[in-house]
Amino acid sequence: MGTTFRPYQPDQMQLLPQDLREWVPEGHLAHHVSDLVDALDLDSFYAPYEGDGRRNSPYDPRMMVKVLVYGYATGTFSSRKLATKLVEDIAFRMLAAGNFPQHRTLCEFRRRHLDDFGAVFAEVVRLARTMGLAGLGRVSVDGTKVRANASKRKAMSYGRMAKEERRLRAEIAGLLEEAEAVDAAEDAHYGEDVRGDELPDELKRREDRLAAIRAAKARLEAEQRAKDDARGRKPGQERNAKGGRPYKREYGEPEEKAQSNFTDPESRIMKTSSEGFQQSYNAQIAVEGDNQLVVAAAVTDNASDQGQLVPMVDAVAQTCGETPEQVLADAGYCSEPNLQALKERDIDGYVPLAREGKTAADPDPEEYPAKARMAEKLASDEGRKRYARRKWMAEAPVGWIKEVMGFRRFSFRGLRKVEAEWTLVCLALNVKRLHTLQAA
């Protein structure tokens, strides 16, 4: 007896229009993204298009926001990959509702509205708080190194820049002498009316590189002048105003090992947890303790976390409209000014004096009163128990971003754009997290 298969007719046309929403299972993340974005205020995305008299109709910003948020939530960050998904993936096609923007359009929309995603992030956090899904009774702050859109091989130290500048100047002078000799020989052979003013390729390459090195040196020198000014040093001052040894460097002169990257000058060489030293940024998050939603996000070009604790507390207050009651952070954030700032703001802080597995010397209560109070607090059973919550609160979202969503490298260059993209990443994580919480 023959086998009867289910009908399979690839050439059969559909007699009625299809509703793509029915192709995506109920409860799917794409439905959640669509419904959530529909409920948000996106006036800032629409404002640039008002009254500009465009002859070609632009894509609806709400649709573009849905595609970008869903793309980041599912680990698709490249504009080219997003454009491919819009053709091949039914969830993307449902969100786009029959629109197929090209990768350049997606990239330009994301670049144009990077700052606007910060307002959307804050609105989603406030929405979660209204729904009772995000509290500020306990907040954990953590940082993670994220690769910059630049290679560390494109970085050069100030000392090497000076050597390269001297070498290139000598090579350029030699090439110019050679060119003059060739010109003279050609004039004698062909006559003076023949053109000979074209710049040789070797000379142009060296001049371009010399210009790039000089620009990088100028950046490092400007940064060093700002640092010297902040320390109270004046031009021409040879030693500290309070006395002591003479300065090793002139005012505004960087250390020889100070580096600048030619591709992304605002990124820095930082030690990562798994890839050694890489060109990176230090991405910061503040996570609330109820459901591990990110309530504040920031990026810095400083590898140290120490100066980020108070700014992150301020960022939480700005996003949520109130200050957290309790803040947990690892030893990287510990400093006397930070701990004192938490006390002055009436925040119950838990920040150890030494990293896990290390032991810090007992601080002098007269010189370091805030550290002495923190050491006493964390020596108690209750203090250790409260601090232990930090690891699963903040480190888990960082793991979700890097391991589940796959975000390990920024798409943009420059601190402002990188910080805006990090906010978009945290927005996508919150949307994904809210979907999980509401489905539970």
Question: How far, in Å, CA of 49 to CA of 37, rounded?
Answer: 19
Backbone angles phi, psi at 275, to 5 degrees: -120, 15
Residue 332: pLDDT band by 50, 70, 90 thresholds? very high
Backbone angles phi, psi at 229, to 5 degrees: -65, -40
Span of 92-106, 204-218, 345-359 with lowest mean pLDDT: 204-218
Which position has the token pair 């920024």?
410
Residue 4 has pLDDT above 90, yes or no: no
* 440 CB-near residues (< 8 Å, 6+ apart): none
Residue 176: pLDDT band by 50, 70, 90 thresholds? low
The residue among 142 and 357 whose pLDDT is bigger is: 142
What's the half-sphere exposure (Cβ side, CA atoms, 13 Å) at 370? 18
What is the pairing mode between strands 259-261 and 277-288?
Answer: unpaired
Neighbour-count burial of 118, counting CB atoms closer than 10 A to its CB (0-12 exposed, 13-18 middle, 19+ buried)? buried
3-class DSSP assignment, residue 281: strand
What is the mean predicted confidence (pLDDT) over 2-27? Answer: 74
**pLDDT tens digits, one per residue of 111-142:** 999 999 999 999 999 999 999 999 889 999 99
Question: How far, in Å, CA of 123 to CA of 137, rounded?
Answer: 20
pLDDT of residue 179: 61
Amino acid at 400: W
The residue among 184 and 82 whose pLDDT is bigger is: 82
Tell me, yes or no, if the pTM score tops 0.85: no
Residue 286 has pLDDT above 90, yes or no: yes
Residue 421: pLDDT band by 50, 70, 90 thresholds? very high
Question: How far, in Å, CA of 435 to CA of 28, rounded?
Answer: 9
Domain ranges of the chain: 20-113, 133-151+266-419, 154-261
Query: How would CATH label the architecture of 133-151+266-419?
Result: 2-Layer Sandwich (3.30)
pLDDT of residue 20: 79
Strands (E), 75-175: 139-147, 155-157
- Average pLDDT along the chain: 84
Residue 213: pLDDT band by 50, 70, 90 thresholds? low
What is the pairing mode between strands 294-300 and 259-261?
Answer: unpaired
Per the CB < 8 A criterion, the answer to whether 30 and 95 are in contact is: yes
pLDDT of residue 239: 67
What is the mean predicted confidence (pLDDT) over 1-27? Answer: 73
Residue 180 has pLDDT above 90, yes or no: no
Orientation angle between helical segments 415-439 and 61-73, nearest 10 degrees: 80
Which residues make beta-bridge pairs with 142? 285
Please state, for a pLDDT cut of 90, what percent of the chain lies above it.
54
Look up residue 258 and give its two tokens: 């100070």
What is the mean predicted confidence (pLDDT) over 150-157? Answer: 72
Q: CA end-to-end span of the chain, whole Å?
A: 48
Residue 303: C-alpha distances to residues 43, 140, 264, 316, 352 (Å): 36, 19, 16, 21, 19
Residue 209 has pLDDT above 90, yes or no: no
Residue 415 has pLDDT above 60, yes or no: yes
pLDDT of residue 201: 66
Backbone angles phi, psi at 263, to 5 degrees: -80, -50
Residue 338: C-alpha distances to residues 137, 253, 305 (Å): 19, 30, 11
Per the CB < 8 A criterion, the answer to whether 20 and 90 are in contact is: yes
Question: How far, in Å, CA of 436 to CA of 31, rounded?
Answer: 13
**pLDDT tens digits, one per residue of 232-263:** 777 766 666 666 667 777 776 767 666 767 77
Residue 194 has pLDDT above 50, yes or no: no
**pLDDT tens digits, one per residue of 45-90:** 998 887 765 566 889 999 999 999 999 999 999 999 999 999 999 9
The residue among 201 and 183 whose pLDDT is bigger is: 201
Q: What is the CA radius of gyration of the chain?
A: 29
